[in-house]
Amino acid sequence: MTIEEQDDRWARLGADEPEPERDRLAVAALVAAVVALVPLAVALALVALRRIARSDRGGEGLAWGALALSGAWLAVGAVVLTSVLTADPRPVRALTTAPPATVHAPETSGEGYLFGEENGTCFDVNPYIPLARVTRLPCTSPHDAEIYAMVALPRAGGYPGAAWVQEAAEASCAQWFDGKLDPGLDYPGLEKTVVVPDQQSYYLDSTGACVFYSPKGKLTRPAREMGVPRG
């Protein structure tokens, strides 16, 4: 073999072999993954890998890249969905406007709707009917509770959930509690709580009732008159 023939042989051996044709489905899979068409990208990539394994086509790296990118999109979607499901629907804040001034409730008995009553209303609840239905009573007769404030709750955007409604009402009631009782007296046995509507009632009247009650039994006079000297 002459020197020229040897040089030609080595030149042919060192020459770059032509790249195999890329599978078109692998290319399409990568494009679909880039634009977040995850189901399409996964389907195209799997078909492309099967076709590449049975032929001399190229593009295996593109198909695997499409699968990896699709997985990344799924992970991002899972994080976003979890954040949306676990986040509070809206920030809780107290009302910025005062509730109506305290008034003397009518000294008459009668059936009433709790979330439509006035400040100063005293009432009984019936354990066998919904809490929203109450019986108005004179505050000088035994009664279960007395309303010291009615607070409006935002209605825009639909029902925000029981926990949010309760927390928002408590924040508003706390804001307007000052001045309802004499700060220089003690009120043994007197407690305060918040009554809020359930989801069905919320759409009719998104109002919370701030009330005084006694865990020891009935109140027998207006809450403000129950104070006793300290010590």
Q: What is the dihedral of CA 196, 125, 110, 116, to 10 degrees?
A: 0
Q: Is residue 221 part of a domain?
A: yes
Q: Is residue 8 part of a domain?
A: no
Calpha distance 90→18 (Å, rounded): 61
Domain containing 217 equals 110-229
Q: What is the pLDDT along the chain (231 residues), one digit of tens a residue?
A: 555 555 555 455 444 555 667 778 777 878 878 878 888 888 888 887 888 778 777 777 887 888 888 888 888 878 766 654 544 444 444 443 444 444 444 455 688 888 888 889 999 988 777 777 899 999 999 999 999 999 988 776 778 888 888 999 999 998 888 788 888 899 998 999 999 988 888 877 788 999 999 999 999 999 999 989 987
Q: Is residue 65 part of a domain?
A: yes
Pair (56, 117) in one structural domain = no
Q: Is residue 220 part of a domain?
A: yes
- CA proximity to 42, closest of 55, 58, 30, 60: 30
Q: Is residue 225 part of a domain?
A: yes
Number of domains forming the structure of the chain: 2
Pair (156, 207) in one structural domain = yes
Pair (172, 207) in one structural domain = yes
Pair (119, 61) in one structural domain = no
